[in-house]
Amino acid sequence: MKEESLMDVIILGSSGAIPVKERNLPSFAIRLESTQELFIFDCGEDIQRRFIEAGLKLNKPLKIFITHFHGDHVNGLPGLLFRFNLIERTAPLMIFGPRNIFFYLYFHRKIVGLKASYPITIVEIDSEHNKLVFFEGLDSDKAIKEECMEKNLILETKNYFVKYAPVEHSILSYGYSLVEKPRNGKFNPEIALKIGIPKGRLWKKLQDGLEVEYNGTIINPEKEGIVGPKRPGRKVTYSGDTMPCDSLIRLGWDSDLLIHEATYSKKLSSMAIEKKHSTSIDAANDALKMRAKQLVLTHLSSRYQHDASELLNEAREIFPNTILGEDLLKITLK
Ligand SMILES: [Zn+2]
Ligand SMILES: [Zn+2]
């Protein structure tokens, strides 16, 4: 693994409800340089086009997270999967979403012949019973296993974990956080050599911050200065569609980046409440409350398609480090 690995966040769609000329329907990607993995949050219609324009690769390990079953967030998913068939994808795919996300795809299998010749696992998050239900492939409608969920954790690997939280929308809707685990401290090979530890098997352990025994002495890599202190991982949170709610604040606590829907401006706050969406001010307040470092506004109503500066300015008064989501905008988290 390289010393400094980047995390890119790329907005693939920033419009809510209907696509407009410069804005596709909601979706964004996270690309982790360290593991070469890709994560997609929501799949607005025509995501394929932005996927390619963003330079994302169709045959890389991918995990997709769907927030809810409003068409603007999910209708791009079958199209993307058809594309994967066309290119004869081989890399594994995991899809997470609310209950019935498997059946949504299963009916595409039955009716329009959607196939998946690559490994595909679909995980339904059952918030009511606090469990995860796993399906494999698209051919059998029988779940292969169920697991109890702990602390809203839906996925964990050596390098990162993903949590979800039910948020407050007109239908069941989830927010998600991707959290990297603390990364190894900076490795100083010259100090290892000075102490006399030869390059090889022991170095790997030292890089991981583990004590090693060498010539009868226990060597603690941090004490000896062979590695620096662990570096905190990065955290990205996505609100999905929601009005302000405590569960989102808890989920997104201390995020490096918050991607938050901002469908309306302050003037239309009564409409935001009625439709259970957020204004840009709500988004800014949420960012402030959860101590996020940066905020991106997305899911903008089509009425702002020619000028969204009102949304941006209102949010910046509360949370200065706010930017407006634009399709293909790339944010690199160091
Ligand atoms: Zn929406
Ligand atoms: Zn919605």
Q: What are 244-282's pLDDT values in tens digits?
A: 999 999 999 999 999 999 999 999 999 999 999 999 999
Average pLDDT over residues 298-302: 98
Strands of 174-278, DSSP E = 174-180, 212-214, 217-219, 235-238, 257-261
Instruction: Determine the distance separating the centroid of ligand 2 and the alpha carbon of 264, expressed in angstroms.
Output: 13
- Structure confidence at residue 2 (pLDDT): 47
pLDDT at 1 over 90: no
256 has catalytic annotation:
no
- Structure confidence at residue 334 (pLDDT): 85
State how far the Cα of 310 lies from the Cα of 131, in Å rounded to an integer.
41
- Structure confidence at residue 111 (pLDDT): 97
In 3-state terms, what secondary structure has residue 241? coil
| Per-chain mean pLDDT for the chain | 95
Instruction: Determine the distance separating the centroid of ligand 2 and the alpha carbon of 129, expressed in angstroms.
Output: 23
For residue 230, name the pLDDT band (cuts at 50, 70, 90).
Answer: confident
Cβ(60)–Cβ(37) under 8 Å?
Answer: yes
Average pLDDT over residues 140-166: 97
Question: Which of these is catalytic: 42, 46, 72, 286?
Answer: 72
Please provide the size of the chain in residues. 334
Burial degree of 251 (CB within 10 A; 0-12, 13-18, 19+)? buried
* Domains by residue range for the chain, with CATH: 7-183+233-333 (3.60.15.10), 184-230 (no CATH)
